[in-house]
């Protein structure tokens, strides 16, 4: 717990500074509301913003799951057939650095803007590429001696994949999933700015902002941040549970 | 039946830097239960020879037979136990599960897997450490796990590529004693690559001296030390004489190599 203390102090200090700056320079509430004002609105609007948060979270998690499963499946294929790897990987790296969120209006046109599937599709594409790239790296960067060992006992490709390559790829997969968990909420909210289900977080934020009710928008952003953080934490905990052997989690005393 | 028969073996690599003759005209017979060391300066192809025997590489000339079979068939029949310089244990498996891995590959029943894992852990005296993970062990202990893993499925031929090369001198001597104890208990045939002269002499029934560029066998030195090898063996006069003999052969290679 102790190592989180500096972060907690910094967070509280930051909020206090924000509050003070708005007070001292007399900044208009609709430009930058005080944290205390945001919290007050949040308290009032709690049930509305959390219901919106739930809609968006379902989109984010759905897209995240779909993108992860697709990314892993393609990675197994690509890692297995090296000609495929040489063809696909440069392309995948190029696409993953493109602004995929820009596809949101197109997916809205394809699947309908109020359909959650259009948001899931954006999120899935955003998550797919980091998962694919990292997973392929993890499956192929196996210690050559481990592979020789499996060869020497005439192990099947499948057994080598299951016992050596796949566990070896887990740390790579999880670093993609951690990036992906944050990306997926960004993807869902931003694509909702281009139209989405009536009660979604992104729709709420953009509507409130257009009425200049920025404090309400901030309250919804707060919910989005909490959800993003929670998603990231869930992935981190899963990482620890699934690979306690990883150097980052090792304890000398077993 | 001869455990290992190598006749007129050659290995040539065609790389970007041109053609490299790694091995040329290698002929060697190893009888069951022998302990044969391959020794020579780096680049003499001793590790390549070991990989050819284990069917991790295919020769470009000549033939190898293992228990009267092709190396490929021998590998498919799980005749080889291999131990490398690095223990190459899987971090995500416990010590016991690492030893279990080849047994899983070979489809042994659960009870048989457990029985063999337990008895081989006892063989390398690591039974207390079964549930630890590899990173919690010292280098010497990790290498003992690798040996237990190689022996668990009772291969007929143990191929070892500088298995103690990364260990400190004290650990190394202890591991050599351990290996001698295991070898005399199991009666397994061993081919052992090393660049340590005392190690080769202490362990082997025969030491095969190799020369580089191209890799050839220049001498085979029978090691007439009594069995079992013990701590006191290292103090015997005969031990020092044999070390000197092997060293002379290796010096001979170096000097002939110096000439244009």
With cut-offs at 50, 70 and 90, classify the pLDDT of residue B257: low
C-beta atoms of B135 and A153 within 8 A: no
ipTM: 0.86
With cut-offs at 50, 70 and 90, classify the pLDDT of residue B259: very low
Query: Which tokens sit at A225?
Result: 């941040």
Give the model confidence (pLDDT) of B125-184 as tens digits: 899 999 999 999 998 899 999 999 999 999 999 999 999 988 888 889 988 998 999 899
**Which residues numbered 124-153 in A keep a CB inside 8 Å of some CB on B?**
143, 145-146, 148-153
Q: What's the rounded Cα separation, in Å, for the pair B240 and B236?
A: 7
CATH superfamily of B4-79+157-258: P-loop containing nucleotide triphosphate hydrolases (3.40.50.300)
The number of C-beta contacts closer than 8 angstroms across A and B is: 58
Q: Where are the domains of chain B?
A: 4-79+157-258, 88-154
Give the model confidence (pLDDT) of A54-95 as tens digits: 999 999 999 999 999 999 999 999 988 888 888 888 888 888
Q: Tell me: pLDDT of A145 over 80.
A: yes
Q: With CA atoms as reference, report the closest residue to A75 among A123, A20, A125, A130.
A: A130
Residue-averaged pLDDT of chain A? 90
What local confidence, expressed as pLDDT, does residue A102 receive?
Answer: 87
Q: Is A254 on the interface with B (CB under 8 A)?
A: yes
Half-sphere exposure of A13 (CA within 13 A, CB side): 6
Query: Which tokens sit at B194?
Result: 């090393």
Q: What's the rounded Cα separation, in Å, for the pair A68 and A74?
A: 10
> Where in chain B does DSSP place strands (E)?
4-15, 18-30, 35-39, 61-66, 80-83, 157-161, 189-194, 206-211, 216-222
C-beta atoms of B82 and A148 within 8 A: yes
Closest CA of chain B from A20, distance in Å: 51
Return the residue of B nearest to A169 by Cα.
Answer: B92
Beta carbons of B116 and B97 less than 8 angstroms apart: no
C-alpha torsion angle, residues B177, B178, B180, B184 (rounded to 10): 140
Closest CA of chain A from B79, distance in Å: 8
Q: What's the rounded Cα separation, in Å, for the pair A222 and A195?
A: 20
With cut-offs at 50, 70 and 90, classify the pLDDT of residue A251: low
Return the residue of A nearest to B136 by Cα.
Answer: A252
Residue range B106-127: mean pLDDT, rounded:
92
Closest CA of chain B from A174, distance in Å: 15
Give the model confidence (pLDDT) of B41-64 as tens digits: 988 899 999 999 999 999 999 999
Q: Tell me: pLDDT of A140 over 80.
A: yes
Residue among A154, A170, A254 whose CB faces B78 most closely: A154
Domains and CATH numbers, chain A: 46-249 (1.10.3720.10)
Of the two residues B199 and A98, the one the predictor is more confident about is B199
What local confidence, expressed as pLDDT, does residue A45 receive?
Answer: 87
């Amino acid at each position: 717990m102790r190592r989180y203390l500096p972060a907690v102090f910094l967070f509280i200090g930051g909020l206090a500074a924000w509050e003070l700056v708005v007070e001292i320079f007399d900044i208009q509430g609709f430009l930058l509301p005080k944290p205390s004002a945001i919290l007050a609105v949040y308290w009032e609007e709690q049930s509305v913003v959390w219901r919106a948060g739930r809609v968006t979270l379902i989109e984010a998690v759905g897209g995240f799951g779909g993108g992860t499963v697709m990314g892993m499946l393609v990675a197994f294929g690509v890692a297995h057939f090296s000609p495929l790897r040489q063809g696909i990987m440069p392309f995948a790296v190029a696409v993953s650095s493109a602004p995929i969120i820009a596809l949101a209006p197109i997916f809205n046109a394809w699947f309908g803007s109020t359909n959650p599937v259009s948001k899931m599709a954006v999120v899935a594409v955003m998550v797919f590429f980091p998962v694919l790239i990292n997973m392929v790296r993890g499956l192929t960067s196996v210690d050559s001696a481990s592979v020789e060992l499996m060869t020497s006992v005439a192990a099947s490709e499948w057994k080598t994949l299951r016992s050596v390559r796949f566990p070896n790829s887990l740390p790579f997969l999880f670093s993609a999933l951690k990036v992906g968990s944050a990306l997926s909420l960004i993807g869902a909210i931003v694509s909702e700015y281009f139209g989405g289900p009536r009660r979604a977080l992104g729709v709420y934020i953009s509507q409130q902002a257009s009425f200049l009710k920025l404090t309400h928008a901030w309250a919804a952003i707060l919910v989005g941040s909490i959800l993003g953080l929670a998603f990231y934490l869930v992935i981190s905990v899963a990482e620890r549970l699934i690979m306690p052997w990883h150097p980052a989690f090792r304890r000398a005393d077993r | 039946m001869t455990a290992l028969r190598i006749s007129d073996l050659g290995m040539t690599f065609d790389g970007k830097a041109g053609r490299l003759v790694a091995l040329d005209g290698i002929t060697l017979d190893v009888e069951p239960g022998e302990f044969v060391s391959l020794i020579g300066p780096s680049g003499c192809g001793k590790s390549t020879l070991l990989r050819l025997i284990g069917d991790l590489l295919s020769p470009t000339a000549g033939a190898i037979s293992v228990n009267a079979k092709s190396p490929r068939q021998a590998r498919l029949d799980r005749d080889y136990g291999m131990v490398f310089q690095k223990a190459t244990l899987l971090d995500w498996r416990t010590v016991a599960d690492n030893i279990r891995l080849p047994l899983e590959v070979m489809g042994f029943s659960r009870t048989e897997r457990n029985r063999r894992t337990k008895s081989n852990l006892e063989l390398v005296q690591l039974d207390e450490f079964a549930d630890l993970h590899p990173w919690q062990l010292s280098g010497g202990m990790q290498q003992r796990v690798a040996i237990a893993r190689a022996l668990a499925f009772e291969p007929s031929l143990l191929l070892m590529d500088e298995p103690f090369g990364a260990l400190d001198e004290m650990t190394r001597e202890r591991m050599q004693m351990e290996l001698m104890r295991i070898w005399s208990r199991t009666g397994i045939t061993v081919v052992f690559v090393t660049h340590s002269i005392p190690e080769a002499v202490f362990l082997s029934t025969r030491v095969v001296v190799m020369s580089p560029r191209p890799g050839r066998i220049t001498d085979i030195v029978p090691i007439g030390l009594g069995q079992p090898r013990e701590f006191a063996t290292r103090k015997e006069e005969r031990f020092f004489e044999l070390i000197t003999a092997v060293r002379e052969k290796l010096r001979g290679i170096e000097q002939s190599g110096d000439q244009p």
